[in-house]
């Protein structure tokens, strides 16, 4: 079994149960409506409901509120890799209208160029106490959260990916939680992995089509990237459907 395919659940509220049954595996979350924002017709926006995916074994709730994930606060070192500017835009979709969600906690975590995660113990590595390539941001009034990180590496059994988690504003009751993953175009990954520091490793063993988790909705979770400075940048829109 793929180590990232372990179920990672939490107690579901009645609202979450109704959402899961009614949305066939998509996020159908609360009717949170922040003050001071305007909804727009869905046709005028990139308001897209995405599939939820497994959290995997490497999530650690570090409570690191920061935008630049490359630095390890334990020792100040910076993880090497091709720079990646990532913006996540969170909206609420209800009655055919799309509204930005402010105050949502967006957690991002992923492996480094060697396929290693921080602050976990694994048969391949032990990085307890390290906190590189982890952190969260709160969405602004436009529903946007921005991160500076690196293009992820790979490890056995998985295609290249980034994990993310959306959590409701702290004072909202009932709250919500949505977890999924971002993926990359295989051809772009091939180009990135032909450069330093990725090229020091053997060729990756799993591409998108061979990844069992990717095959369960990964095509809807592809991150579209454009060249930016010395690396790449991209924006990912995700809508949470009201119940």
- Say which CATH number the domain at 215 has: 2.60.130.10
Domain span at residue 136? 3-242
Residue 95 CA to residue 98 CA, distance in Å, equals 8
pLDDT at residue 41, rounded to an integer:
57
pLDDT at residue 171, rounded to an integer:
77
pLDDT at residue 170, rounded to an integer:
76
Which residue ranges of the chain lie beneath pLDDT 50?
1-2, 6-37, 43-44, 243
Number of domains in the chain: 1
pLDDT at residue 47, rounded to an integer:
80
pLDDT at residue 40, rounded to an integer:
59
Cα Rg for the chain, rounded, in angstroms? 18
Say how many CA atoms lie within 13 Å of 146 toward its Cβ: 6
The pTM for the full model equals 0.83
Structural contact between residues 136 and 67, judged by C-beta atoms closer than 8 angstroms:
no
**Percent helix, strand and coil across the chain, each to the nearest 5:** 15, 35, 55
What's the Cα-to-Cα distance from 71 to each of 57, 65, 128, rounded to whole Å?
A: 22, 13, 15
pLDDT at residue 99, rounded to an integer:
92
3-class SS of residue 129: coil
């Amino acid at each position: 079994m793929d180590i990232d395919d372990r179920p990672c659940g939490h107690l579901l509220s009645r609202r979450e149960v109704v959402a899961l049954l009614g949305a066939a595996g998509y996020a159908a979350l609360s009717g949170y409506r922040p003050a001071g924002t305007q909804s727009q017709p869905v046709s005028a926006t990139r308001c897209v409901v995405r599939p939820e995916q497994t959290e995997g074994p490497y999530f650690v709730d570090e409570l690191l509120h920061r935008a630049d994930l490359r630095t390890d606060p334990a020792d100040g070192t910076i993880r090497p890799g091709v720079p990646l500017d990532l913006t996540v835009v969170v909206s609420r979709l209800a009655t055919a209208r799309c509204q930005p969600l402010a105050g949502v906690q967006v957690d991002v975590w992923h492996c480094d160029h060697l396929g290693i995660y921080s602050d976990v113990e694994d048969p391949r590595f032990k990085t307890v106490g390290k906190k590189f390539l982890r952190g969260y941001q709160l969405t602004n009034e436009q529903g946007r959260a921005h991160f500076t990180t690196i293009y992820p590496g790979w490890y056995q059994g998985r295609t290249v990916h980034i994990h993310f988690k959306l959590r409701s504003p702290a004072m909202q009751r009932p709250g919500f939680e949505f977890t999924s993953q971002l993926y990359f175009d295989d051809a772009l990954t091939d180009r990135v992995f032909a450069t330093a520091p990725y090229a020091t490793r053997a060729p990756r063993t799993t591409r998108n089509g061979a990844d069992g988790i990717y095959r369960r909705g990964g095509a809807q979770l592809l991150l579209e990237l454009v060249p930016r400075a010395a690396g790449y940048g991209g924006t990912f829109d995700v809508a949470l459907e009201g119940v």
